[in-house]
């Protein structure tokens, strides 16, 4: 990619070269190539500011990753203020709510409710709110990049041709995947199956490609609608690594001046990575000061009059320890009757470390109670 080529030239001019081993021994807080060569952040940010898009990968549940994204966004904006922020977690249908948030018309609670945060995403909003407040403070437009989850699921189950273009917001069929990306997607599917989320492998691949294409077209459209603005996007790292997924779809749309940046833990196999992994890696200790969001460890189906259906239980999870089983229906949590999976997610995110959560459960026609015991904080 163009950014990496220019950075390599800038590296030779800006700093003395270090071995990959020496770079791996540097403390957190610096940039490097996948091979372990250190990068001068002054050169990096200047070059990023001239790109068409900067894609910031993440693990959704890691606070350190979102802090890094915020820091990078602030540095890039210092060089190029004409930018927009694309968000994987929101579909296009909530764009009016995103606009209202940036305009200061909503408080946090109303924003989360009107945007359907728990319906569309479900991760603890505290992980993302610092970035969202930064955008609001500086008037940075927020762009929903994704499609509604039912549309993605339908594309996965039935294929692109079965879903009319108008119902998928005119998002076209994906150009991918290449052989390597398909292999990675199949590995991901097998991991999902191990955690009780089995299904059709090809449907899983089609669904992931639908997300990739939707986000790529969302980025392309955002540039057109905002007069060629630089698009900084927050996207799961699996959709970005090795230039597959979203970067591949962007290239198919004619956008190839794109930078992929990933956070990299200090315990990684530094110096032994594929050089195509990303344009640059930021070294951080993502275990330090990590805010672990509470997790029950279940996958959920739709709710009905009998509660929210449990479709899978992850091994060694809070749910497994409580004795929850696939097929159970959770009627209430902490005494609140559940009408949707999002309501259970909201209640779980309120749980403090070391507390117990009573759940009323229906199993084989009989109603009983189980207690979900959340582990204490490592500091306790």
CATH number, domain with residue 349: 2.30.42.10
Residue range(s) defining the domain that contains residue 363: 298-373
- How far apart CA 233 and CA 152 sit, in angstroms, is 20
Domain identity same for 326 and 241: no
- Position 290 in a domain: no
Q: Is the pLDDT score of 11 beyond 70?
A: no
pLDDT digits over 309-328, tens only?
A: 998 888 888 999 999 999 99
- How far apart CA 324 and CA 44 sit, in angstroms, is 49
Q: Is the pLDDT score of 3 beyond 50?
A: no
DSSP 3-state of 26: coil
Q: Is the pLDDT score of 59 beyond 60?
A: yes
Domain identity same for 56 and 137: yes
Beta bridge partner(s), residue 300: 310
Domain identity same for 167 and 262: yes
pLDDT score of 5? 39
pLDDT-above-90 percentage for the chain: 57
Where would I find the beta strands (DSSP E) of 59-159?
83-91, 142-146
- How far apart CA 24 and CA 5 sit, in angstroms, is 21
- Position 42 in a domain: yes
Q: How many distinct structural domains can be found in the chain?
A: 2
- Position 291 in a domain: no
- Position 378 in a domain: no
Domain identity same for 138 and 190: yes
pLDDT score of 259? 98
- Position 48 in a domain: yes
Domain identity same for 280 and 303: no
CATH number, domain with residue 278: 3.40.50.11550
Domain identity same for 215 and 255: yes
């Amino acid at each position: 990619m163009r950014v990496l080529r220019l950075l390599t030239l800038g590296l030779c001019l800006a700093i003395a070269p270090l071995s990959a081993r020496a770079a791996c021994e540097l403390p957190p807080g610096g940039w490097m190539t996948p091979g372990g060569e250190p990068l001068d952040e002054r050169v990096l940010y200047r070059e990023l500011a001239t790109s068409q898009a900067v894609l910031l990968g993440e693990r959704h549940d890691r606070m350190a990753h979102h802090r890094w994204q915020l820091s990078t966004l602030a540095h890039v904006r210092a060089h190029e203020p004409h930018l927009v922020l694309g968000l994987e977690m929101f579909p296009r249908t909530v764009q009016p709510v995103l606009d209202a948030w940036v305009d200061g018309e909503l408080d946090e609670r109303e924003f989360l409710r009107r945007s359907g945060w728990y319906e569309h995403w479900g991760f603890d909003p505290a992980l993302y709110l610092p970035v969202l407040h930064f955008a609001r403070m500086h008037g940075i437009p927020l762009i929903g990049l994704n499609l509604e989850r039912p549309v993605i699921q339908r594309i996965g189950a039935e294929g692109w041709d079965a879903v009319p273009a108008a119902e998928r917001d005119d998002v076209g069929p994906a150009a991918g995947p290449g052989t390597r990306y398909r292999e990675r997607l199949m590995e991901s599917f097998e991991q999902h199956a191990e955690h009780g989320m089995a299904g059709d492998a090809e449907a899983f691949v089609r669904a992931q490609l639908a997300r990739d294409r939707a986000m790529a077209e969302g980025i392309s459209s955002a540039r057109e609608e905002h007069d060629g603005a630089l698009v900084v996007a927050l996207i799961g790292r699996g959709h970005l690594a090795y230039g597959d997924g979203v970067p591949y779809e962007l290239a198919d749309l004619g956008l190839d001046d794109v930078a992929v940046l990933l956070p990299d833990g200090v315990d990684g196999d530094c110096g032994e990575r594929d050089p195509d992994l990303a344009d640059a890696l930021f070294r951080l200790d993502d275990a330090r000061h990590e805010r672990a969001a509470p997790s029950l460890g279940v996958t959920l189906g739709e709710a009905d009059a009998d509660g929210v259906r449990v479709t899978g239980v992850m091994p060694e999870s809070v749910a497994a320890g409580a004795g929850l089983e696939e097929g159970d229906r959770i009627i209430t949590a902490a005494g609140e009757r559940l009408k949707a999976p999002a309501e259970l997610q909201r209640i779980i995110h309120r749980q403090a470390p070391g507390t117990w959560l009573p759940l009323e459960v229906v199993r084989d026609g009989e109603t009983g109670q189980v207690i979900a015991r959340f582990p204490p904080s490592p500091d306790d």
